[in-house]
């Protein structure tokens, strides 16, 4: 079968997932909002409905230190500045009074003035931010000096005036060259140092507007700020019924800040989920409708008189699904928020992999093991030899133990430690392993070599008497919907199986549909985190990036977050990219973003087992060394 290449070729625009997580953690700390998300868009902005703030793409393609400083400055301006200090009530009043001519220019001027005011305030409060804001100002000054000339020459007067204002704010009106109509505004611009709130900035905007609006015929062509817009305001409430209307009447607190807007959106989203059900519980009628009544518009209970269900090709699938759900409802679990916000709609099933005990599989298993026997034997002997060596290693310079033959320390050391001890012999390695095998459809043409690699992993750990678990994970792409993402974990070998031989289960592994890697990693992490072993490892076999329903955009970020969460719990995550060709630079860079340095690639199908053995050797050497 020809290779199924589902790997998305990411270009240089991909933001470092781990770096983005750093910005997100900073934003959460500054705002004290644990649900806040950070992404990258054209301009800085807030999206309360998505509980998201965005940093600007303006900082891409710059030197690393400048890019980091710029993005950090975005976070501080949004999370420490606009989040807490921007007066939404004053802004709403401004919108209702704003003239129809040049509305975009007025909005841009307001945000420019507010940015200046808030940056000054943040730097006084957090002195450590001064250097990053200096870099920000330096970069934007260069940008606006160019734009002032270009836009004025092209006749974009409104755009040119925004650049003139920016330069005047950060270099002073004495150091900016502009047309006479702009210079008339210098007296008003100098009042910016008296601004102490959003209303002060709004007053200045109106003064600037009435000074220059007759000289500017067209509104701004470009957009420089997009901090807030009317779309962030919650929609007017629809009163579902009297009880809801009464409960809403008691809500009199004003939403004066963006922080309050976010809380409001979050609160309303949570409440709306149960509002229809609550109404039915309070007012709904039970029992069958009276068939003698004619359907009267507006009368409760008259819309549907009776329901009948027959067998058609359209509903057979639904009936079957309902039957299966009832039958296996005890085994299906809801992820909720315990596995991350991306997986709140995931439902998952845990079950044993059904073994295909055909005689052909038994013969194949015997063949594979004969091929791998020399490698398994050599590997196990090497590890055992290292363990034996560890037994006779001495720990020297101790305060108690056996007296060393080297007595010179009594004369050379102020506080001599002339004792030593032999390391306590270890009967087995203090480690536990979890192997996650990608069960997506694209694994179909790699199954044979994947099974060999998994079998090698299983046999080595059995010989060394190390606890391990092997799990096939996948998402059902055909049943997945906006509200439900069905996932399955099939145990090939459970931790509780100890040294049981599950070779036939390994040969029964099959490809299915999608893979939700971040969820699978967290699931395996929960299996391992309470184990008593000192060293815990998760090895992930996959042939591409995470891919599942509604997971394409956030899958990389979510999987990177899962890796970091597990590392904090002292669970090491290693990744092996299974491919039939050499990995491209884009693929390698992507896996480094997700897994850090703990990722390896197999350049051909035949090298899956070799790479698996190499990774195992690396992990077990670490265990022996630190035991």
pLDDT at 342: 86
The answer, yes or no, to whether residue 238 has pLDDT greater than 60, is no
What DSSP letter does each residue of 213-249 carry, written as one string? GGG--S--SS----S--GGGSPPPPP--SHHHHHHHH
Q: Are 67 and 19 in contact (CB under 8 A)?
A: no
Structure confidence by residue, pLDDT tens digits, 613-622: 999 999 999 9
Strand order of the β-sheet with 402-403 is 394-398, 419-422, 402-403
At residue 426 the predicted structure's pLDDT band, cuts being 50, 70 and 90, is low
- Our measurement of the distance from residue 100's CA atom to the centroid of its chain's CA atoms, rounded to an integer in Å, reads 41
For residues 451-457, give the mean pLDDT: 96
**Contact indicator for 51, 40 with CB cutoff of 8 Å:** no
Q: What is the mean pLDDT of residues 166-171?
A: 96
Q: How far apart are CA 341 and CA 269, in angstroms?
A: 14
Region 362-391 average pLDDT: 90
For the chain, how long is the longest CA-to-CA vector? 112
Query: How far, in Å, CA of 441 to CA of 337, rounded?
Result: 27
Q: What is the pTM of this model?
A: 0.65
pLDDT at 329: 42
Proportion of the chain in helix, strand, coil states, percent, rounded to 5: 55, 15, 35
Give 27: exposed, middle or buried? Use CB within 10 Å, 0-12, 13-18, 19+: buried
Out of 77-91, 399-413, 437-451, 560-574, pick the least confident.
399-413
In percent, how much of the chain has pLDDT > 90?
58
Per-residue pLDDT tens over the stretch 97-137? 999 999 999 999 999 999 999 999 999 999 999 999 999 99
Question: What is the distance, to the nearest Å, from the Cα of residue 577 to the centroid of all Cα atoms in its chain?
Answer: 20
Has residue 244 got a pLDDT over 60? Answer: no
Q: Can you read off the two tokens belonging to residue 181?
A: 């109509």
Please tell me the least confidently modeled range out of 191-200, 264-273, 385-394, 529-538: 264-273
For residues 471-497, average pLDDT? 95
d(CA 27, CA 74): 10
Which residues lie closer than 8 Å to 306 by C-beta, 6 or more apart?
A: 288, 289, 291
pLDDT at residue 337 in the model:
79
Residue 272: the pLDDT is 53
Nearest-CA neighbor of 134 among 69, 227, 189? 69
Average pLDDT of the residues in 35-46: 91
Note the pLDDT of residue 589: 85
- In this predicted structure, what is the pLDDT of residue 233? 66
Residue 353 reports pLDDT greater than 50: yes
Model confidence pLDDT, tens digit, residues 194-230:
999 999 999 999 999 999 999 999 999 999 999 988 7
pLDDT at 508 > cutoff 90:
yes
545 compared with 163, residue with greater pLDDT: 163
Mean pLDDT confidence for 12-37:
83
Nearest to 16 by CA among 591, 600, 519: 591
Q: How confident is the model over 251-276, as pLDDT tens digits? A: 444 548 999 989 887 676 665 554 44
419 vs 379, residue with greater confidence: 379
Give strand pairing partners of 470.
435, 493
- Reported as a pLDDT band with limits 50, 70 and 90, residue 413 is confident
475 in helix, strand or coil? strand
**Cα 288 to chain center, whole Å?**
48
Q: State how far the alpha carbon of 232 is from the alpha carbons of 45, 208, 464, in Å.
A: 10, 26, 59
Span 568-595, average pLDDT: 90
| SS3 annotation, 24-43 | HHHHHHHHCCCCCEEEEECC
- pLDDT attached to residue 368: 96
Q: Given this model, what pLDDT does residue 280 score?
A: 40
Residue count (the chain): 627
What is the model's pLDDT at position 627?
A: 72
**CA 282/CA 56 separation, integer angstroms:** 47
- Give, in order, the Cα–Cα distances in Å from 210 to each of 190, 200, 215, 216, 485: 16, 16, 10, 11, 56
The predicted structure's pLDDT at residue 242: 43
Q: Which residues of 200-215 are buried (b: 16+ CB within 10 A; e: fewer)?
A: bbbbbbbebbeebeee
Neighbours of 3 (CB within 10 A): 14
Given this model, what pLDDT does residue 276 score?
A: 42
**What is the set of domains in the chain, with CATH numbers?**
359-389+426-626 (3.40.50.410)
Q: What is the pLDDT of residue 396?
A: 62
Q: CA-CA distance, 274 to 286, in Å (whole number)?
A: 19
Tell me: pLDDT of 295 over 60.
Answer: no
Which of 466-475, 551-560, 580-589 reaches the highest mean pLDDT?
A: 466-475
Q: How many CB atoms lie within 10 A of CB 296?
A: 10
User: Residues 455, 368: contact at Cβ < 8 Å?
Assistant: yes
d(CA 223, CA 556): 30
């Amino acid at each position: 079968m020809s290779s199924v290449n589902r790997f998305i070729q990411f270009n240089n625009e991909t933001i470092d997932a781990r770096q983005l997580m750093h910005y997100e953690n900073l934003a959460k700390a500054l705002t004290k909002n644990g649900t806040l998300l950070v992404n990258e868009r054209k301009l800085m902005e807030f999206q309360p409905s998505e509980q998201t703030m965005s940093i600007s793409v303006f900082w891409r393609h710059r030197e690393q230190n400048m890019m980091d400083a710029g993005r950090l400055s975005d976070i501080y301006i949004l999370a420490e500045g606009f989040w807490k200090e921007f007066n939404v009530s004053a802004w709403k009043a401004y919108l209702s009074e704003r003239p129809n001519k040049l509305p975009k220019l007025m909005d841009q001027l307001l945000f420019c003035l507010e940015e200046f005011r808030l940056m000054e305030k943040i730097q006084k409060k957090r002195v450590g931010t001064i250097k990053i804001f200096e870099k920000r100002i330096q970069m934007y000054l260069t940008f606006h000096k160019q734009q002032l000339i270009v836009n004025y020459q092209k006749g974009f007067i409104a755009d040119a005036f925004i650049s003139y204002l920016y330069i005047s704010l950060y270099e002073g009106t004495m150091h900016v060259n502009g047309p006479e109509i702009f210079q008339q505004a210098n007296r008003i611009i100098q009042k910016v140092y008296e601004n102490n709130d959003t209303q002060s900035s709004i007053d200045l905007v109106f003064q600037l507007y009435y000074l220059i609006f007759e000289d500017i015929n067209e509104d701004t062509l470009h957009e420089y700020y997009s901090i807030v817009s009317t779309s962030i305001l919650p929609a007017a409430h629809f009163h579902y019924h009297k009880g809801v209307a009464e409960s809403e009447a008691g809500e009199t607190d004003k939403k004066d800040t963006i922080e309050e807007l976010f809380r409001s959106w979050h609160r309303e989203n949570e409440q709306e989920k149960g509002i229809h059900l609550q109404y039915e519980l309070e007012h709904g009628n039970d029992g069958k409708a009276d068939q003698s009544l004619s359907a009267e518009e507006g009368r409760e209970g008259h819309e549907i008189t009776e329901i009948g269900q027959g067998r058609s090709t359209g509903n057979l699938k639904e009936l079957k699904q309902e039957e299966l759900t009832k039958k296996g409802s005890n085994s299906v679990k809801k992820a909720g928020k315990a596995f991350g916000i991306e997986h709140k709609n995931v439902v998952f099933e845990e079950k044993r992999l059904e073994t295909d005990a055909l005689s052909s599989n038994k013969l194949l298993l015997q063949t594979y093991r004969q091929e791998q026997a020399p490698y398994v034997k050599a590997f196990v002997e090497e590890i055992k030899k290292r363990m034996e060596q560890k037994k006779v290693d001495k720990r020297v310079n101790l305060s108690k133990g056996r007296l060393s033959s080297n007595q010179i320390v009594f004369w050379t050391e102020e506080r001599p430690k002339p004792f030593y001890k032999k390391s306590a012999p270890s009967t087995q390695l203090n480690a536990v392993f979890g192997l996650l095998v990608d069960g997506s459809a694209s694994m179909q043409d790699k199954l044979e070599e994947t099974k060999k690699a998994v079998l090698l992993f299983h046999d080595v750990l059995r010989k060394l008497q190390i606890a391990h678990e092997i799990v096939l994970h996948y998402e059902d792409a055909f049943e997945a919907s906006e509200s439900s993402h069905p996932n399955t974990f099939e145990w090939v070998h459970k931790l509780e199986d100890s040294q049981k031989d599950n070779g036939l289960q390994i040969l029964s592994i099959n490809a299915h549909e999608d893979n939700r890697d971040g969820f699978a990693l967290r699931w395996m992490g929960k299996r391992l985190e309470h184990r008593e072993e000192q060293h815990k490892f998760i090895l992930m076999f996959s042939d591409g990036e995470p891919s599942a329903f509604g997971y394409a955009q956030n899958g990389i970020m979510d999987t990177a977050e899962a890796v970091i969460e597990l590392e904090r719990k002292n669970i090491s995550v290693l990744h092996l990219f299974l491919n039939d060709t050499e990995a491209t630079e884009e693929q390698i860079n992507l896996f480094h973003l997700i897994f850090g340095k703990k990722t390896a690639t197999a350049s051909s199908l035949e090298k899956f087992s070799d790479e698996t053995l190499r990774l195992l050797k690396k992990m077990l050497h670490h265990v022996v060394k630190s035991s």
